[in-house]
């Protein structure tokens, strides 16, 4: 029943996600998901950023250094020899700043206590890195160097939008605030700069970065929804497969194991008894004059009696023991590591449990209540006896219990069974 409830809940979730997939595929690509899903999406996105941060640490610094090495020959032609040293120093300081920023990202990602504050730290790191790099690259004296630095700042904005794990809207606010502060510092310091070109570079990067990151996030949301859908389908299939397996192993009427499961479990118990040289008791139980009961009370009442007897047997054995419906009104019990005295004690408990139920049986020839006949034998690992012969011996014990008048327990030693 619990599994059925889980399946219904999963099917409901599946319908909701399929609806969201349709929306995001056709019309509302940038629409946020419902609160819980949106929160889960951003948590996964942030986890992915934290996991990949070590890659960013090496590749980010390496990319920036390559960019500097490629830019220096151009600087020689555009800016001139006197400014090469200054250009190199500014670029080197900028690279060190970015390396420090990536190192801080790594620290906040790797250490558990700090990782809780990773998102806020990411916003602060990106904000400060933009401002520091802007002041380093734009405070020089050469206008060509300043114009070239605007490209580097645009590059930083793109990294912040795409790789930092910050939400596009939050990154837009961080970027715009950083741009305003850069303008304020440059004006206060009276730095000679092409403010129109700088404004286009900074604010244009904000708008472009926001647009690109929004499109990427929209694609990520679609992938996330499809992954959620696949996970739900997998869970449903797993539950249904588990239920089918359970149904194939369980008797529908009594909710105990069926004959097929008994055959599998008997192989296991028999093999273990042989390996460990320990006893294995096999009990066969039959409801006395059950055909008469069905004829007198009807099959529905007969089904209730079978279920009641099965419950009594199950409650009378240990959790390591095994009970199954062998067929019709017949049951079988396996008692591992149980010698004759212990097996007889369990058989007596089962007999008394059914006796206490006091189920009326007017058509019985031995009692006015429902009774059982129980036959058992005990196998000791190491004896030269196959599984079929062991089952036959226990069945013979049940036959003797019936032959002697029913409503009793009969033990048949294996030696006697073999002679018979």
Beta strands in 321-368 (DSSP E): 322-327, 330-336
Note the pLDDT tens digit of each residue in 312-351: 999 999 999 999 999 999 999 999 999 999 999 999 999 9
Rounded mean pLDDT of the chain? 82
pLDDT score at 245: 67
Lowest mean pLDDT segment, chosen from 143-152, 354-363, 364-373: 143-152
Percent of the chain with pLDDT over 90: 34
Do 306 and 329 meet the contact criterion of CB atoms below 8 Å apart? yes
Lowest mean pLDDT segment, chosen from 49-53, 78-82, 292-296: 78-82
Note the pLDDT tens digit of each residue in 71-125: 655 655 555 555 556 666 766 677 777 778 877 877 887 777 777 788 888 888 8
Q: Which domains does the chain have, with CATH numbers?
A: 2-234 (no CATH), 259-419 (3.30.70.270)
Lowest mean pLDDT segment, chosen from 45-49, 77-81, 141-145: 77-81
Q: Which residue, 323, 343, 356, is CA-closest to 397?
A: 343
Phi–psi pair at 373, nearest 5 degrees: -110, 135
Between CA 72 and CA 384 the distance in angstroms is 90
Is the per-residue pLDDT at 222 higher than 50?
yes
Give the 3-state secondary structure of residue 321.
Answer: coil
Is the per-residue pLDDT at 295 higher than 50?
yes
Note the pLDDT tens digit of each residue in 260-286: 899 989 999 998 998 888 999 999 999
Beta strands in 220-358 (DSSP E): 279-287, 322-327, 330-336
**If you average pLDDT over residues 298-317, what whole number do you get?**
95
Between CA 130 and CA 205 the distance in angstroms is 12
pTM: 0.54
pLDDT score at 417: 47
**If you average pLDDT over residues 183-201, what whole number do you get?**
81
The helix or strand, by DSSP H or E, that contains position 410, with its residue range, turns out to be strand 409-411
Q: Which residue, 415, 344, 410, is CA-closest to 383?
A: 415
Q: Where residue 249 falls among pLDDT bands split at 50, 70, 90?
A: confident
pLDDT score at 107: 81
Nearby residues of 381 by Cβ (< 8 Å), 6 or more positions away: 273, 274, 275, 276, 277, 278, 279, 280
**If you average pLDDT over residues 24-37, what whole number do you get?**
68
Tally of CB atoms within 10 A around 269: 21
- Cα–Cα distances in Å, from 86 out to 61, 71, 72, 95, 134? 20, 13, 11, 14, 15
**If you average pLDDT over residues 362-391, what whole number do you get?**
91
Lowest mean pLDDT segment, chosen from 67-76, 156-165, 276-285, 289-298: 67-76
Structure tokens at 337: 């590591």
pLDDT score at 80: 53
Note the pLDDT tens digit of each residue in 388-412: 999 999 999 999 999 999 999 999 9
Structure tokens at 159: 């990294």
Do 356 and 274 meet the contact criterion of CB atoms below 8 Å apart? no
**If you average pLDDT over residues 414-419, what whole number do you get?**
57
């Amino acid at each position: 029943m619990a599994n059925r409830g889980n399946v219904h809940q999963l099917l409901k979730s599946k319908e909701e996600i399929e609806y969201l997939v349709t929306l995001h595929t056709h019309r509302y690509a940038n629409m946020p998901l419902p609160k819980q899903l949106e929160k889960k999406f951003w948590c996964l996105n942030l986890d992915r950023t934290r996991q990949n941060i070590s890659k960013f640490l090496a590749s980010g610094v390496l990319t920036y250094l390559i960019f500097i090495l490629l830019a220096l020959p151009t600087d020689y032609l555009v800016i001139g020899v006197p400014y090469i040293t200054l250009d190199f120093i500014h670029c080197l300081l900028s690279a060190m700043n970015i390396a420090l920023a990536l190192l801080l990202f790594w620290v906040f990602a790797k250490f558990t206590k700090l990782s809780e504050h990773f998102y806020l730290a990411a916003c602060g790191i990106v904000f400060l890195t933009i401002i520091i790099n802007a002041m380093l690259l734009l405070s020089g004296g050469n206008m060509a160097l300043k114009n070239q630095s605007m490209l580097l700042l645009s590059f930083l904005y793109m990294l912040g939008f795409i790789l930092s794990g910050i939400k596009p809207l939050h990154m837009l606010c961080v970027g715009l605030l950083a741009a305003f502060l850069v303008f304020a510092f440059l004006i206060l310091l009276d730095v000679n700069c092409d403010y129109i070109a700088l404004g286009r570079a900074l604010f244009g990067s904000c708008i472009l970065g926001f647009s690109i990151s929004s499109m990427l996030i929209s694609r990520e949301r679609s992938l996330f929804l499809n992954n959620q859908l696949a996970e739900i389908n997998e869970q449903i299939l797993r539950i249904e497969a588990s239920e089918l397996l359970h149904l194939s192993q369980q008797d529908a009427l009594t909710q105990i194991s069926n004959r097929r499961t008994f055959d599998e479990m008997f192989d296991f118990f028999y093999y273990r008894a042989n390996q460990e040289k320990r006893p294995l008791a096999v009990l066969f139980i039959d409801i006395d004059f059950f055909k008469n009961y069905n004829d007198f009370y009807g099959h529905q009442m007969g089904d209730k009696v079978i279920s009641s007897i099965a419950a009594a047997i199950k409650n009378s054995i240990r959790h390591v023991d095994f009970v199954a419906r062998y067929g019709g009104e017949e049951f079988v019990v396996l008692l591992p590591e149980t010698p004759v005295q212990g097996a007889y004690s369990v058989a007596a408990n089962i007999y008394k449990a059914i006796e206490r139920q006091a189920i009326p049986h007017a058509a019985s020839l031995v009692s006015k209540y429902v009774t059982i006949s129980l036959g058992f034998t005990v196998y000791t690992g190491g004896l030269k006896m196959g599984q079929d012969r062991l089952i036959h011996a226990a069945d013979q014990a049940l036959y003797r219990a019936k032959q002697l008048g029913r409503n009793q327990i009969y033990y048949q030693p294996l030696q006697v069974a073999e002679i018979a």
